[in-house]
Chains A and B, each alone.
Chain A
């Protein structure tokens, strides 16, 4: 419920704000473990309408994005990343989405994490 409110608020803010930034920058925390995850996360982010550039750092788990505030909002971007199975700080991926990633990328699994450490 909280999330829904947050989304609604964000959307509302999005429509009210004037002089929005065409090249807004943001950093999202996205969970993942490897280069395969990187490709999946970046692809999901960039396929979101309004996102212009997305680069995920495998060490810091930070996704740096540049997006057009008039067309995209952070909630939608978080959602698209969660939809392909990666948890973000804001949205946790559904188990169904999470289980769809390659077995070696199951980042919630401690053994998998250990393998990558």
Chain B
């Protein structure tokens, strides 16, 4: 009975809030002192509507407000037109910039940093550049720390590599693309995410569940696409410097310029290094590797709006060096000896890609695209006495045509793609060489009834020299029965060859023997992996106490028909074999987002994973995968001053339930882990900002992450039992400068 009044109150709130139907505000002329100088006669209107008004003598205005309006456009002759994003009808105060000022900045008071789509059939989460700034450091692998759909953890206790998981499955099961070209795959699987600097990324799209057939047959758990900065939209000059108390330094520079009216180019330079040795847990091993990276990208963009052409050319060179192992290890004298345990991982990579897009200016629904990409990835490394080298040459081509059938309710995409991958691997004393190639065709039809239903059905047929000839179906549906709702369902199949060594590089930093049980297959003797993914999702937006909120419920199941089982259950062995029996991953997520008050947002999520595999011995839950996870993020921004100055505050909380250890003699399950990260940014103007942050500020550490660290050449040495942070709290500071 006590709850009833609250319920009634809740029911009443929308009524009360809908009664306030006017947005009041004040438009002023920008001046250096920040004084209120009202601008009379400015036009104020809601974007895409005919609802508008004009400011009075004092610059004040009053405009009808409805919740569905979100973009308020303010324009006045001689001033720059600004578009404000408005989420409630709180009074607006805005300064218009005179056209005479050279500063090309459009003030956007509020943009949701991370959002789920209400209009796409696939379950896509868009992560904007504003969200990416919340994790100030440093590369793509760390960009997901404020996102509940992706889990980030350390791959091992030695290399400092972060591994991502989606729907409870490791990153090889997720297709990772840059600008829709598969990029982090093959030899780049282990460290590839750390080869894309964070500042290069403009936005990220995360698709849960089976993705589109357009990008290939490999994705199983989902797709992650990173859009990179583009010469025409990025800042003309951008500089970012970062330094952390844990000895890591980074420098990013972007230079963008228009060469001609149609051609622009951008040069993106990244360097990072850590040359200070830390061993805070006194196990004689470096807590983080020594590292040095140089990463250079040059992009050329051609835009011809009249003829409908857009084209990109990219060139990239990467050199990355890491030194791992014991603190007194010296590569010059100790390599290949048992003086001290250590290793080096040196990677060089070249990427060349070209994209051509054409939209028929006469018929805007007709478009064509061509993507070509070549990469050469060369990793030379040793881990103690174990050597591992891989060279991967890869070619990718995809041609795409979009049009309609009859009218724009029926759209289709069709095209052809080709891949070529050549691997040369040296694993200790054994050479593994393999060449894969495939040619495929795809067709994707999508139906949109223009109001509440969208269905996308795709099919592709591929002829692959090792995987055979096979069909990949994928279906997505979106249904919006009432306001602000979105029901989604998806089914899809994926198939891939597992690169067992590069995907499990942590095994080299153990004393475990490598055992491959099967010999009949084409890929290391093993069969290709095949899985089906099924998912349902429900998103509902609503008003809570007059503020925007939304809740999402997701359930996904991945069922493996065949899998390359990575079995750590035997002492002193890591075994690979074809799945016999069941292997599945169930993932349930509930997410709640709420805009508590102006510029203050909270995001919370709970996740439940049930990932089980039939091992040779018995059916077991996947090691080092917590069943329960809790995620929380709060962010607050102060209001913008005339010159764009404001403060930003952000904190993220992560809690992981206990995780199963495989054949660990000491204990079966890890303790639970809770970590907190926080960051403060002071924006001085649209040109300059400083940030300061702390990672793992409660200083949570895993005790003895390395098993048998006192005897690294002995039979029990193992660095794979990582369930939590190895390094304690660490603080960092950085700056961003842009023109």
Contacts and interface: CB of A to CB of B under 8 A. Distances in A.
B89 to A, nearest CB: 15
A53 B451 contact: no
Contacts of A23: 362-363
Count class of interface residues, chain A: 10 to 19
Q: How large is the interface on B (under 10, 10 to 19, 20 to 34, 35 or more residues)?
A: 10 to 19
Given A43-B450, A46-B409, A46-B450, A53 B49 contact: no
B450 A58 contact: no
Interface of B: 48-52, 64, 68, 362-365, 404, 406-409, 450-451
Given A35-B68, A39-B450, A43-B451, A52 B404 contact: yes
Given A35-B49, A59-B50, A51 B407 contact: yes
> Chain A at the B interface: mostly helix, strand, loop or mixed?
mixed
Contacts of B363: 23, 52-53, 66
Given A39-B451, A52-B365, A66-B363, A58 B49 contact: yes
A46 B407 contact: yes
A89 B451 CA distance: 26
A117 B408 CA distance: 31
B50 A52 contact: no
A46 B406 CA distance: 9
A108 interface: no
A116 B408 contact: no
A34 B66 CA distance: 12
A95 interface: no
Contacts of A52: 363, 365, 404, 406-408
Interface string A98-117: 00000000000000000111
A90 interface: no
A58 B407 contact: no
A42 to B, nearest CB: 7
B64 A53 contact: no
A65 to B, nearest CB: 10
Contacts of A33: 50
Contacts of A34: 49
B50 A58 contact: yes
Nearest to B49: A58
Given A23-B362, A53-B365, A66-B363, A116 B407 contact: no
Contacts of B64: 115-116
A53 B450 contact: no
Interface string A7-40: 0000000000000000101000000011100010
A59 B50 CA distance: 5
Contacts of B409: 46
B536 to A, nearest CB: 27
Contacts of B365: 52-53, 66
29 contacts: A23-B362, A25-B362, A34-B49, A35-B49, A39-B451, A43-B450, A46-B407, A46-B408, A46-B409, A46-B450, A51-B407, A52-B365, A52-B406, A53-B363, A53-B364, A53-B365, A53-B404, A53-B408, A58-B49, A58-B50, A59-B48, A59-B49, A59-B50, A66-B363, A66-B365, A115-B64, A116-B50, A116-B51, A117-B51
